[in-house]
Amino acid sequence: MDYDQNDAPNENEIPQQNDIPEQNHASSDIPPRPISSVVEHVYHRPPKKKRSIARIFFGILFTLSILANMFLFMMLIVMAIIVPGGKEGIFKEQTVTKGHSNNKIAIIRVDGIIDNQLSERVRTQFKAATEDAKVKAVILRIVSPGGTVSASDQIHHEITKFREKTNKPVVAFMQTVAASGGYYSAVACDEIIAEPTVITGSIGVIMNNFVVKELLEQKLGIKAVTIKSGPKKDWPSMFEETTDEQIEYLQQKLIGPAYDRFVKLIDEGRGDKLNKDQVLALADGSIYGADEACENKLIDEVGYLEDAVNAAQRLAGISSSRVFEYKQQFSISSILASENRSPLPLDRDSLSKLAMPQFLYLWDASWE
């Protein structure tokens, strides 16, 4: 039979579903052949790629890194709980000058503005020096323009108590600035030595407070209302202008008594070198350089740290000593706390301190 060559079936032609003969499903349990098997020679699924060795290695490394970080974090928490470094009063000794280990001279620093936190730190260090029988003398290293009346007086008290309880000498060593409350602390010591460039003096009391009446009323339209039991209850007030009567009252109640105490303690501490009239002549708030202070007998000697060490050894009756400073031990908890401390505290206590009048033994020019 003749037929056209074009009528021949194409071997690449895929039979359609309708062209596949139906199977007798009733006579057999074998399921019908799927269409996919018919087109298997046309479409092949690509084989799954094998995971590379590098990918497996970095996956393991990443997992180990996560586990290591979790372990370190847990260790930090444990150390913060059990390590006593964060407790106040736990110090280590950092050697300044090597010497006889049984003859130690402790350096206690008064650095910066004198406040309650600083006075507490000084107190704990004097306590440590009191309990250490090997400490034969203390050098009070002062770099401060002063601070609050209360905190300055607390440091003076701790020095006096240490000297009376242990019968051991304390030498004040002034650096840079040791004025007002800084000098107030120094006069409790047996001797005072100052570096040639030091600024000291500023004997007196100062009181500052803000007056925001005009700002509130004229700029912001806010009027403060104060209800008080008596006319002097809020003197001085930041919401009212300070009157001459208020100034006289504060001078009598606060400034005068604090000034008199300052003069009294200088007279007691420098009594063998200055009388009260001489102290009063110097106690007008003036500042003095080291040489002028030495001429006026506010200090005993102009020198450096080695001179202070020699003075401490002489007063303690020793010829060789190990000089050290107290340093706060490493504290995990203090680091965690510092990270949570706001750089601009606006809590109620901070705002209250800001509004409260400041009653200070302070060289104010160094603070402004």
Instruction: Provide the annotated active-site residues.
Output: 180, 233
Task: Please name the residues in contact with 173: beta carbons below 8 A apart, sequence gap of 6 or more.
Answer: 139, 140, 141, 142, 193, 194, 305, 308
Backbone φ/ψ region at 180: left (φ over 0), alpha (ψ -120 to 50), beta? left
Let me know how long the chain is: 368
The answer to whether the beta carbons of residues 287 and 281 sit under 8 Å apart is no
- Enumerate the β-bridge partners of residue 359: 207
- Enumerate the β-bridge partners of residue 194: 174, 302
Task: Please name the residues in contact with 303: beta carbons below 8 A apart, sequence gap of 6 or more.
Answer: 193, 194, 195
The answer to whether the beta carbons of residues 193 and 171 sit under 8 Å apart is yes
**How far, in Å, CA of 347 to CA of 91, rounded?**
31
Buried b (16+ CB within 10 A) or exposed e, 30-54: eeeeeeeeeeeeeeeeeeeeeeeee
The answer to whether the beta carbons of residues 288 and 201 sit under 8 Å apart is yes
Q: What's the farthest any 2 CA atoms get from each other in the chain?
A: 150
Q: Report CA dihedral (263, 264, 267, 269) to the nearest 10 degrees.
A: -110
- The SS3 of residue 160 is helix
**How far, in Å, CA of 333 to CA of 330, rounded?**
9
Token code pair at residue 113: 């503005």
Backbone angles phi, psi at 72, to 5 degrees: -65, -40
Token code pair at residue 291: 């040489």
